[in-house]
Amino acid sequence: MTPQLYFFILSFLFGAVIGSFLNVCIYRMPREESVVSPPSHCPSCDYRIRWYDNIPLVSYLLLGGKCRGCRAKISLQYPLVELLNGLLTLALFMRYGPTLAFAVLFLFCSALVVITFIDIEHQIIPDEISLSGIVLGFVFSFFLAGHSWLNSLLGIVLGGGSLLLVASGYHWLTGKEGMGGGDIKLLAMMGAFLGWKSIPFIIFASSLIGSLIGVSLMVIQKKDSKLAIPFGPYLAFAAVLYIFYGPQLIHWYLTLGSFSKG
C-alpha cells in the first residue's frame, strides 16, 4: 500500500467516524438535547449503544440494521450520513491535502451535512450552526491563503442580504412568507467561508436544482405549488458543487455564452 493510498483511506475513515457524531447532532439538535450527554442510546428502548455497535458503517451491517437490545429498525440515515461524510472528507483531502484549507472546508461541509438532514426532516436550520458558522468563517478568512477578511465580509453581506431582499420582496408582493430566516443565515455562512464570488453561483445552482426537483416532486406527489420544500439542502449541494467545480462551471458557462454570441 502506497503512503498516498494509506492517507486516503485514513481520511475516509476519519470522515465516517465524524459522521457518526453528526448523526447525534442531527437527531438531538432539533429536540434541543445535548449532543454530548447522555451517551448514544436507542431511541426506542434506551439501550446504551456499546462501542462495538457504534463502528461507522460496519456495525449497521453486522446488526442487520436493527438495535441489539429491542431489535427495532435502525434508520438508513445513520450509515448514509457516515458514508456521505466519509466520501466528502476523502474528496476534500484529495483536493487540498493536509492543509488548513482542508480542515476549514471539512468543518464547513460537515456542518452542511447536519443542516441538510435536519432541514429535510424538520424544515429548520439551527442557529447554533449557521450563526456560529458565520463567525468562524470570518475568523478563518484571516489565516487562509487566497482568501481575505474583506472577501469573507462581502460574502456575508451579499449572501444574507440577497436572500433577505428576495424574502422581503416576496412577502411584500404576496403577504406570505416565502423563505425562512434560516436560509438567509445559511447563505451568509456560505459567504463567510467561500467568499462573495461564490454567492451568485450558489443562488443560481440551488434555484435551478431546487426547481427541477421541486417540480418533479409536485408531479409525483400530485401536490400544488403550496407544497413546502426545504431550500437548505439545495443551497448545501450548490455550495459543495462550488468548492469542487465552481470555477470550471463558471468558465464553461461564460465560454458557452461567448460561442453562442459568435
pLDDT given for residue 171 in this prediction: 61
pLDDT given for residue 260 in this prediction: 52
Poorest-confidence range of 81-95, 104-118, 175-189, 230-244?
175-189
pLDDT given for residue 59 in this prediction: 94
C-alpha torsion sign, points 155, 107, 251, 162? negative
Residues 6+ apart with CB under 8 A from 140: 104, 147, 152, 193
Residue 73, beta-bridge partner list: 66
Compute the half-sphere exposure of residue 241: CA atoms within 13 Å on the CB side of its CA: 18
pLDDT given for residue 246 in this prediction: 87
Q: How many CB atoms lie within 10 A of CB 104?
A: 21
* pLDDT tens for each residue of 123-165: 999 999 999 999 999 999 999 988 899 999 999 999 998 888 8
Q: Which residue has the cell 468563517?
A: 137
Angle at 104 between CA 80 and CA 237, to 5 degrees: 45
pTM of the model as a whole: 0.91
Using the CB atoms, write b or e for 6-40: b if 16+ within 10 Å.
eebeebbebbbbbbbbbbbbbbebbeeeeeeeeeb
Whether residue 80 is predicted with pLDDT greater than 60 in this model: the reply is: yes
Bigger pLDDT: 178 or 208? Answer: 208
Q: Which residue has the cell 431550500?
A: 231
Q: How far apart are CA 86 and CA 84, in angstroms?
A: 5
* Percent with pLDDT over 70 in the chain: 92
Confidence of residue 35 (pLDDT cuts 50, 70, 90): very high
Residues 6+ apart with CB under 8 A from 41: 47, 48, 49
